[in-house]
Amino acid sequence: MSAQPRTTTPLTSAQRGLWLLDELHPGSSLYNVFCSVRLTGPLDRAALRRAFDRLVARHEVLRTAFPAAGGEPVPVVAEPAPVELPVLDLARVPAAERFDRACELVDAWAERPFDLAEGPLFRALLVALDDGDHLLGVAAHHIVSDGRSLNVVFDELALLYAGEEPGAPPAQYADYAVRQRARAEDPELSAWWVEHLRGAPDVLSLPSDRPRPAVRGVAGATHLFDVPGELTAFCSAHRVSPFMLLMTAWAVLLGRLADVDEVLVGTPVSDRPGPEFDGVVGLFVDTVPVRVDLSGNPAFGELLGRVRGAVLDAVTHQGVPFDRIVALVGPDRAPSHTPLVQNIFSADLAPLVRPRFPGLTAELRTPAPTTAKFDLDLTVQGGADGPVGVLTYSTELFDPGTAERIGDRFARLLLAGTANPETPIRHLPLLDDDELTTILGTWHETAPAAPPDLLVHELFGASARRTPDAPALDGDGGALTYRELDERSTRLARAVAARPDEVVGVLVPRGTDLIVALLAVLKSGGAYLPLSPTHPPAYLARVLDAAGATRVVAADELAHRLTGVEVIPPGRGLDDGELPRVHPDQLAYVLYTSGSTGEPKGVAVTHRALANVARTMVGEYDLTPADRVLQFANIGFDIAAEELYTTWTAGGCVVLAPDPPPGPDGLVDLMRDRRITFTILTSSNWRQWANAAWARGAHPGPALRLVSIGAEPVDRDTLHRWQAEVGVPVINIYGLTESTINATIVPLDGPVGDTVPVGVPLAGVTAYVLDRELEPVPVGVPGQLYLGGDCLARGYLGRADLTADRFVPHPFAPGARLHRTGDRARWRADGQLEVLGRLDKQLKVRGYRIEPGHVEAALSAHPDVRDAVVVARDERLVAYLVPAVPDDVRDHLAARLPVHLVPGAFVAVDAIPLNANGKVDEKALPVPTTRTAGTAAASTDLERELAALWREALGLDRVGVHDNFFELGGSSLTLAAVHRAVRDRLGRALPVVALYEYPTIAALARHLSGGAATTSPRVARPRPRRPRRR
């Protein structure tokens, strides 16, 4: 290419940013600007070629390339020369297929990357369908063109094609570059942006189909949809532009999807400084962040006013390049996402271009990029039949169906907001009628509750009458038949003689006497309150007082731990006396759980709810009299009730675990020796038991036919291995004490995704996923899980305030209640529920909302990590690892996770502590030691050389080898300087993205030295991570 260097012509800040991005993503079509036009009629190809030649000769920027000199881009303008216009002839393709084939060819051609150093950065292609039908493609790199420039290109092409010569351009793009560089930075303008964006959210966490990758890619796709409504009249009435109206709907959608009260929306603005540049081709746009305040659930019309003000604020303060705003504000610079804004919105109801070639009919095809600059990029532009939404999305995060739903919801919000602008934004409909019918009328319920004609002690009695000599309980003192257990519990029940709803404590060690006591209290008409022998006397007294319990069935050796109550020995009994008929709405038991204030709260469960669970689960588990079911759970854990009453309803045998219950190794032996056919375990206990069996080369349970797990998230790796090597069916159950043990169910009989689902509601249970205004959320969007139906507990004993807070009026069934679970959940497209974590214990570190399971899964993939749990302490993530902290664990995570998901501290522990219910005991985890930042000095020659480069680039006197480059004030431009220095002064070649992946001197030095950070991750059998309930 014949070229003339123009070393005195600077680049604009936007061009420099695009050049740097090309360095980060070489060979990418991410910033290709293109469109295609169908030309119908007698096309003069020679005239079209001459038009392209003259067009490129008129605009220097279309002949400019950007080779690097001394590590800096230098614009080089080529002499005018003929423009290549290849012609592809589709005459051999069947006529009916030609247009589709032409579109495929042009789209693929448009996505071919440009070489910024070599050029040309503008090209054209012509595809001939027949003599009178052509598809013309035009493409340029964004560094030399923008959307408005395409209008200039086609306007001039039309004139030049007709043989007319437009007047000479009054300016060239280089003149604009010189003018921009000559403008001194306005300190007041810069200060305004710093203050305006102070405290603004710089990462928008939208619900996605997959978690963010550690390093963001550019794979994308585009969804086109019609944008409805008569916008002009509405905008005139409310004194806003269509852009402001459309951005308002977009901001509402983002806020509703992410469940936040504030969003930053990036929008491109033009910076053509005067009329002399109106006909100039080049890059005149920059991005400004618009801060939209959604707080207070304003009416749509009120928010429209807020957006109008926010847009005017941003536009009137433009002039500070976006890269400079980013540097001034200093947002998180993790390579997993774009800085400051992750979504872009633009709107121009005029068509992208208006091609007008004399003698030809021209029809614009809307571009559909297959690369994504941001998570979401919505452009609303004019079309032949009205406005069209062009939604480009990252396919690393979103599936096509999700993108389609986003477009539908945007259109629905826009229609509803313009029809009723007085409606609060959180009450505007996100779902259409079909979705509402599905979520509220189909998925929310599967079957009605079982009729409460027999309660659980009566169901036990029915089994005793059917098979009196069958074993009912196999415990420490041998087996009891149904007849024997019935007689013993009846004698004790007569002695207890409880009043309706009287709470009777039970303080008996694990064993046969304990089970007899529980059954006896139910028969007596009272509600049992299980008490743990390990609890201190003061705690027992506090719980008994809170429950209003004045009598306790207590073992002789434990009675001294009680004061101020009547003690009933478990061996006491009466031979005569009628037992009362218990009403289904009387209390069956009260379980105390820890409260957020530190005071225990007693969940009061009715016989109706308990009987529904027992009868429902017999069918779900297909239990029979032949089953031997392990009673393993702590008696204060509601799973224990399921183990007992479901088994007896089916006529099976309950097998008591010894006291104390065995650990994982002992559980393997117990399952074998006691011939357990069915067991219910927490996910943690199941995982540890399975791993213990595999470590011994043993089967977890030779007689097992089914396992039910739950109470915590299910570890996917353990499940996959179980499915492959054990083959015993596994059922996943979700439920809370307040919903009487179980609420949803799913058989885990096939592959699972990133999150193991919890399934569909059980009989008698209704489930809803609602937002903060108790509105149903769409498929795939997280909200809070609410449960209703016959499963609900009565409430919290003696705590009317707490009951009213957690058991709320049913928004769709007047007079009914829903339990506000505090769990974050979402509906899947197949109608199953996923539970994503606790709303009240979801980790939040430096503004990021973090699901610990994501980090724990990556930690467990390290071959030297046997178990892991992640918590937040002192505004940082802390990882606890079993049995030790590998030297390369940070590099291992950096290759898999975004920077903000890499823990700030790692602590080795011998085992992850569990509480009495088999869940992770976070309080027992040790406090990590604290390291002072900036004090770790370089210890190798390479670290010292890198530290010198950092000090020079950042203008600092001292840096520590563990300090993060971006937290010290580094930006993309200073990073580029470090990259060049590493290459030129140290002779080390590495991609720029590596500096994002290894943002500390220590990590980068290990990477450059060929240490663990540079090697591929070691391959090993996936280690199960620690699931936990938070």
Q: Is 548 exposed, middle or buried (0-12, 13-18, 19+ CB in 10 A)?
A: middle
CATH architecture assigned to 3-176:
2-Layer Sandwich (3.30)
The pLDDT of residue 992 is: 64
CA 963 vs CA 202, 335, 633, 932, 933: distances in Å: 21, 17, 47, 10, 7
The pLDDT of residue 245 is: 96
Pick the CATH number of 840-924 from 3.40.190.290, 3.40.720.10, 3.40.50.10320, 3.30.300.30: 3.30.300.30
In 114-224, which ranges are continuous DSSP H helix?
147-161, 173-182, 187-196
Model confidence, pTM = 0.80
User: Any idea which residue has 């009196």 for tokens?
Assistant: 468
Query: Tens digits of per-residue pLDDT, 797-829?
Result: 999 999 999 999 999 999 999 999 999 999 998
User: Any idea which residue has 């006396």 for tokens?
Assistant: 577
Bond from prior residue into 187 cis (ω within 30 degrees of 0): no
Q: Is 941-1014 the same fold as 3-176?
A: no
Of 508, 555, 553, 545, nearest to 527 (Cα)? Answer: 553
Bond from prior residue into 120 cis (ω within 30 degrees of 0): yes
19-37: burial string, b at 16+ Cβ within 10 Å, e else: bbbbbbbeebbbbbbbbbb
> What is the sign, positive or negative, of the torsion defined by CA atoms of 524, 528, 532, 538?
negative
In one letter, which amino acid is 499?
A: R
Of 653, 647, 657, nearest to 628 (Cα)? Answer: 653
CA atoms of 22 and 946, how far apart (whole Å): 24
> What is the sign, positive or negative, of the torsion defined by CA atoms of 959, 965, 970, 974?
positive
- Superfamily, domain 941-1014: ACP-like (1.10.1200.10)
Tokens of 214: 């550690």
Of 538, 539, 563, nearest to 552 (Cα)? Answer: 563
Look at domain 184-355+366-430 and name its CATH class. Answer: alpha beta
Task: Say which residues have a Cβ less than 8 Å from residue 630's Cβ, sequence separation at least 6.
Answer: 643, 655, 657, 670, 671, 674, 676, 678, 679, 680
Mark the ranges of the chain whose per-residue pLDDT is less than 50: 1-8, 596-598, 846-849, 930-933, 1012-1030
What is residue 560's three-state secondary structure? helix
Print the SS3 string covering 390-430: EEEEECCCCCHHHHHHHHHHHHHHHHHHHHCCCCEHHHCCC
Of 995, 987, 998, nearest to 894 (Cα)? Answer: 998
Pairing mode, strands 527-530 and 503-507: parallel
Domain extents in the chain: 3-176, 184-355+366-430, 840-924, 941-1014
Reduced DSSP (H G I as helix, E B as strand, rest coil) percent helix, strand, coil of the chain, to 5? 35, 20, 45
Say if CB 677 and CB 627 are below 8 A apart.
yes
CA 606 vs CA 471, 474, 580, 641, 645: distances in Å: 28, 27, 16, 13, 14
CA 195 vs CA 68, 340, 486, 970: distances in Å: 36, 15, 75, 20
